[in-house]
Structure 1
């Protein structure tokens, strides 16, 4: 079975400035891109129905409603898209599709994950966010992920919240952007699995999110970092689109690895697209 990563809830004052905004430099990033041309599929626990009117597509594969009873999927949405004036999203103009795959016990059968990825492909997602994982690999899911990547879709997955030395599946796949979590002092969170093997370790400590009660809270985990990177990749792909260029997954991974090694900032990586020789989009 696959499980959604639980988050470390830590309530903070709404007046606290979100550190991830300054760390990534949202203000400067958004001068270049807000993700308008891209679509992120959030495969998770659903979403608070209050925000469902803003979705490009919605579907539950486990019941008759996409209503989020856990809160995890809603938090991922708030990090990526933002919530009105409460939270500034990393990719505020990106299109979002929500595919609900989680049972009430936060577990999901591999077949459901496979079907969700297939649905995201069919509905033209450009990025798939997977803040879910398992200790066991599944051949059918792997094939669907490879199919998605072959179609130009970027698959982003949490490294795992199990505090061990190995990446969790499907983050362990070479085709997947694997994401661990750091704090504001650039320390890798102790809960991060396989931090030395990730594509990137991104802000994942006390990240501003919205819960099911529409309350602003700070939560921590590799799920939060994964949502942040999915949104950032939307900026990269949208900026390349605006420049009439096609950004391959290999180049995206290379740019993220350069950020992770501190060779580039998030802004510099986005700006570097201008100087890359890329095949024009058709």
Structure 2
């Protein structure tokens, strides 16, 4: 029995080690390849060079695309948080006939009708409202795609807020918006932080929407500009792709670490005294 347990534990650790190696190899490539003068698809110690970053620095669209991606992602995140918090709070507190069915229908439809299937009507809509080649149009489209799931998730946080807190605030003359700001949101902050990172990551990595709605190269986000790092024959420029991928991943990693350190992605919170 002891030998059997020992063998099982060894096999368990071997499997875990293999999984770690499997997931770590792409990370090692992203870290090492940007500093290699002649990178390949294999992982090796780099022949140290900063030429890839220098070429990106002189690229007229590379660094600008990171700023564009930041503008689009932050704009989408802000709208998702504001409208998601307001809508979920309203649905949590107001008894609307068919409320739960509406929430599940929105979530189901947003999952079934993917962005690819909806791009033709979305493109026609953006054309009619003159938002083609506009970053605002991209932000609005991505916000609409993310809102159903955000509302569905945030409603649970709003439901968890004790109504006695709100009633106490009403006694002191607080308005509904003040109650939402000073009572409900402090409790729901871990959920809002999680939704913020989720919306940021989805908008940051979205390729299809900006690729179809934007026409000017100087408005492209990083996900679209990375598509241009290929030769005329279709061969990838591994040096540029690896260096740009490293720069591209840093903002999302920072956002994750900040929120994880502050909240740990724990779905609970409390009101500060």
Select the structure of larger CA radius of gyration.
2
TM-score (norm 2): 0.21
Structure holding more helix per residue = 2
Structure holding more strand per residue = 1
Q: Higher relative CO (CA 8 A, sep ≥ 6), structure 1 or 2?
A: 2
